[in-house]
């Protein structure tokens, strides 16, 4: 592959940090990487499987220097010619072109808005393919103070073309840029006056939620996400324990394979309370018990009637006896009074008889 084919392609990624040992322990816990020593003293390689995808080195401890950060290397057929062109477009050279034995030639620059990047001309071996491997870098994003100006600058320097633009509301426009008809990355406004323009690199992972959990457990911080973005991919922005910003990207999954951590799958266990509706069977036996209660109550009604009839009969009997007693009592009184009057009248008759 000729050096002309590398123009505008993201070829290398390098972490400059204040603690290389801590970084070497952190990232393999979050993304599918491992470290490998290099032939250069003080330089460690990041490996994704058998592919070299980046490097790790100590950042010089300079007062007022940049914080730990990832540096992107963009391919060019000639580092020296691109340096001159970039300067004419308003860029500033931070490190003049230099050779890396058996590797290539590079230079470090700052774009017109202040974002740092590197130029690179490989000395041998093909650049990485268009499709990133698992653990490879899959997306690149520039946060800048002037999206339109950045599109013009990088377009002239690397041949990037303006792609689709996504309206993000108060956050402004997210501008896609393309290389050879393929989406290569995006540009957006910096979110805050204290945040300097910078490049952010995304690592391709199988599960963004798992990567976030691992980063937190290892001392990293979650800045944003995981969220689904246009195209169906899932992203999360994080910061390593030393302050280096990075992001992960999970490819969109087929509709038949829903993400385990989405809200759609979480409620499924939550629907388990349906068996908890088991009180319904418990309520069913109560229904027969309800009609059973009135039956004994209905049986009491005939009993009351019988009692009433018996009471009436008893009353009639008592009333009859009383009436009979009254009748017989009356007769006895009449007889007694008749006898008394007869007794009284008897002497009178006798007396009258004597007078004669």
pLDDT at 141 over 50: yes
Q: What pLDDT was estimated at residue 29?
A: 98
Query: Mean pLDDT across the stretch 269-298?
Result: 38
pLDDT of 331 higher than 70: no
Q: How would you write the chain as a 3-class SS string? A: CCHHHHCCCEEEEEEEECCHHHHHHHHHHHCCCEEEECCCCCCEEEEECCEEEEEEEECCCCCCCCCCEEEEEEECCCHHHHHHHHHHCCCEEEEEEEEECCCEEEEEEECCCCCEEEEEEECCCCCCCCCCCCCCEEEEEEEECCHHHHHHHHHHHHCCEEEEEEECHHHCEEEEEEECCEEEEEEEECCCCCCCCEEEEEEEECCHHHHHHHHHHCCCEEEEEEEECCCCCEEEEEECCCCCEEEEEECCCCCCCCCCCCCCCCHHHHCCCCHHHCHHHHHCCHHHHHHHCHHHHHHHHHHHHHHHHHHHHHHHHHHHHHHHHHHHHHHHHHHHHHHHHHHHHHHHHHHHHHHC
pLDDT at residue 252, as a whole number: 84
| The most confident of 131-145, 256-270, 319-333, 336-350, by mean pLDDT | 131-145
Confidence of residue 115 (pLDDT cuts 50, 70, 90): very high
Higher-scoring residue by pLDDT: 343, 144 = 144
pLDDT at 30 over 70: yes
pTM of the model: 0.70
pLDDT at 302: 43
Residue 2 has a pLDDT of: 58
Q: Residue 280: which pLDDT band, with cuts at 50, 70 and 90?
A: very low
Look at residue 66 in the predicted model and tell me its pLDDT.
82
Mean residue pLDDT of the chain comes to 79
């Amino acid at each position: 592959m000729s050096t002309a084919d590398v123009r505008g392609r993201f070829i290398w990624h390098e972490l400059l940090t204040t603690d290389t040992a801590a970084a070497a322990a952190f990232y393999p816990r979050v993304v599918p990487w491992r470290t490998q020593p290099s032939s250069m003293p003080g330089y460690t390689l990041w490996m994704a499987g058998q592919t070299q995808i980046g490097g790790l080195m100590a950042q010089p401890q300079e007062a007022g220097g940049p914080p730990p950060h990832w540096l992107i290397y963009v391919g060019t057929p000639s580092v020296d010619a691109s340096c001159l062109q970039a300067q004419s477009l308003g860029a500033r050279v931070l490190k003049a072109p230099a050779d890396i034995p058996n590797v290539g030639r590079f230079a470090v620059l700052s774009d017109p808005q202040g974002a740092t990047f590197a130029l690179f001309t490989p000395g041998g071996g093909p650049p990485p393919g268009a499709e990133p491997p698992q653990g490879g870098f899959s997306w690149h994003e520039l946060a800048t103070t002037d999206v339109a100006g950045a599109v013009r600058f990088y377009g002239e320097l690397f041949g990037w073309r303006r792609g689709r633009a996504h309206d993000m509301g108060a956050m402004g426009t997210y501008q896609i840029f393309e290389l050879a008809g393929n989406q290569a990355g995006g540009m957006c406004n910096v979110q805050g006056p204290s945040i300097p323009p910078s490049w952010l690199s995304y690592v391709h992972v199988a599960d963004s939620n798992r990567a976030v959990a691992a980063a937190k457990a290892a001392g990293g911080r979650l800045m944003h996400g995981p969220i689904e973005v246009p195209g169906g991919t899932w992203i999360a922005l994080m910061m390593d324990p030393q302050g280096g910003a990075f992001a992960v990207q999970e490819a969109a999954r087929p509709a038949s394979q829903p993400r385990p951590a989405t809200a759609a799958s979480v409620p499924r266990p939550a629907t388990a309370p349906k068996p908890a509706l088991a009180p319904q069977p418990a309520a069913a036996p109560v229904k027969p018990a309800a009609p059973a209660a009135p039956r004994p109550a209905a049986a009491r009604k005939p009993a009351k009637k019988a009692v009433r009839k018996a009471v009436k009969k008893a009353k009639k009997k008592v009333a009859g006896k009383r009436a009979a007693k009254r009748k017989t009592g009356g007769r006895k009184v009449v007889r007694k009074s008749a006898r008394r009057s007869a007794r009284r009248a008897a002497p009178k008759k006798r007396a009258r008889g004597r007078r004669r």
